[in-house]
Structure 1
Amino acid sequence: MPKIVDHESRRAEIAAAVRRLVLREGVASATVRKVADEAGWSPGAVRHYFPDQAALLRLVIAQAYADVPQRLESHLRSWYDDPSGRDPLGHAQRMLEELLPLDDERRVEAEVWLATMDAARHDPALAEARAMAWAGIRQMSRIAVAWVRGRELDPHLGRLLEEPLAEPVDERAAATVHALLDGLAMQCYAYAEQVELDDLRVTLRSHLDEVARGA
C-alpha cells in the first residue's frame, strides 16, 4: 500500500525551517540546501515543493502576509466590538506595534519585508507583494490617525481605507506615521545592538500623542 504523504504538513515544516533560518542568519541563508538541513530532509525533497530560493522566499512572504492581517484584524474588531472600552492612543499603539519587529515572529516578518523590498526591484513576481506591503502599512497609519483624532470610520472591517483620508491634514499625518514605522523597523533591523525595544515603543507613543494634539 503506497505511503500517504501529508503535503500541507510538509509545506508547514519547510516554512518553519525557513523562518528559523531567517531569524538566525537572515534571508540570504534560506537556500534549498540549508533549508533541507534545517528541516532534516534531502535537498531533492525540498525542491519537490520549492524548486529554488526565490520560491522559498515567496513562501515566507505569503505566510507573513497572512499572519499580519489576522493580528491587525483582531485590533480592529476590539475597537468596533467594544465602543465603551475604546482607548484611542492605546488601541493605535498596540495595532501599529504589530508592524514593528518587537519579537521573534515580527523580526522574521521584518527580514522578509526588507528582502522583498530589495528583490522586487529585479523580480516582477514580487512587485505585487511590495505594493501590498506599502498599501497595508499606509492603511493602518490612516486608521491610527483617525482613531487618535476622533474621526469616524466605516465599521465594516473589509474596507481598509484604500483611499486618502477626507482631510488633507489627516492624510499628511498618516504619511508621517507610515514613514516613522518604516524608520523604526529599519533601525531595529539594521542596528539591533543599539536599539532598545522599549525606546521604539516610547518613540511611537510620543508621535501618536503629537498626532492626537493635531501636530
Structure 2
Amino acid sequence: MPKIIDHEKKKEQIVEYTWQSIVNSGAKGATVRTIAKLAEMTPGQIRYYFPTHSALLDAVMEKVNHKVAQRIQEIFDQEDLTEKERVIQAILAVLPLDDDRYADMEVWMAFQYELHEAGTNSMGDEIRLLIQKSLQYLSEKKMLQEELPVELTTMRAHALVDGLALHKLLTPDRINNEHAAKLIRNEVHSWLKEEYR
C-alpha cells in the first residue's frame, strides 16, 4: 500500500527548518541544500513544495508575520492592561528583546535583504502600520493630544522602532532592553494628553 503523505505538514516542516536555518546562518546560509539536510529530504523534494527560494522565504515571512500578529493580539486581549500600556507592549513586541523576538527579527532582516538583492522594494510596512493602528486606537479612546501631527509622529515613531530593532539586532550590547523600553514608553507618552501620561 502506498505511503500517504501529508503535504501541508511537509510544507510546514520545510518552513520551520528554513526559519531555523536563517536563525543559525542568515539568509545566505539558508540554501536549499542546507534546508534539505536539516529536513532529511532531497533538494528536489524541497523544490517540489517551493519551486523558488523567494517562494520559500515568502512562506517563512508569512509564518513570522502571523506569530508577531498573534503576539500583538494577545497583548490587546489582556484586560488588566490600560490602553496606553497595550500600545507600548504591542510596539515592544516587534523589537528583538528576547530570543524568540530576536530570531523573528533575524528572519525578517534576511527576507528584506533577499528582496533588496533581487531589486525589489525591500522595506515592508508592518511597523509603520503598527504605529498607525496604535495612534488610531488611542485616538478612538480620546487619549491623543488635540494638535498632534499624526503623519510626522508616525514617521518619527517608525524611524525610532526601526532604529532600535536594527541596533538590538546588530549591536545588542549598545542598548539594553530597559533603555529600549524607556525610549518606546517616552515616545508613546509624547502622543498623549497630559492626564494619560
TM-aligned CA distance change 1:187 to 1:213, over 3 Å: farther
The alpha-carbon deviation at position 201 of structure 1 amounts to 1.5
User: In 2, Cα distance between the equivalents of 1:12 and 1:86?
Assistant: 34
CA displacement, residues 41-62 of structure 1 (integer Å, 9 cap, x when unaligned): 2222222212343232122112
Q: Which residue of 2 aligns with 1:174?
A: 154
The two structures, once aligned, show a CA RMSD in angstroms of: 2.8
Which amino acid counterpart does residue 171 of structure 1 have in structure 2?
E
Structure 1: which 5+ residue stretches go unaligned? 154-165
User: In 2, Cα distance between the equivalents of 1:35 and 1:195?
Assistant: 33
Identity %: 27
Choose from 87, 108, 113 the match for 1:118: 113
User: In 1, Cα distance between the equivalents of 2:48 and 2:136?
Assistant: 47
| 1:206 lines up with 2:186 in the alignment | yes
Which amino acid counterpart does residue 195 of structure 1 have in structure 2?
I
TM-aligned CA distance change 1:65 to 1:167, over 3 Å: farther
Match of 2:94, SS state, is: coil
TM-score between the two structures when normalised by the length of structure 2: 0.80
Paired residue total: 191
Residues 91-170 of structure 1 mapped to structure 2, 5 A cutoff: 91-121=86-116, 123=118, 127=121, 130=122, 133-134=124-125, 136-146=126-136, 150-152=138-140, 169-170=149-150
Contact 1:15 1:59 in 2 (8 A): yes
Contact 2:23 2:107 in 1 (8 A): no
TM-aligned CA distance change 1:193 to 1:51, over 3 Å: farther
User: In 2, Cα distance between the equivalents of 1:208 and 1:100?
Assistant: 15
Match of 2:139, SS state, is: coil
User: In 2, Cα distance between the equivalents of 1:104 and 1:15?
Assistant: 19
User: In 2, Cα distance between the equivalents of 1:32 and 1:120?
Assistant: 17
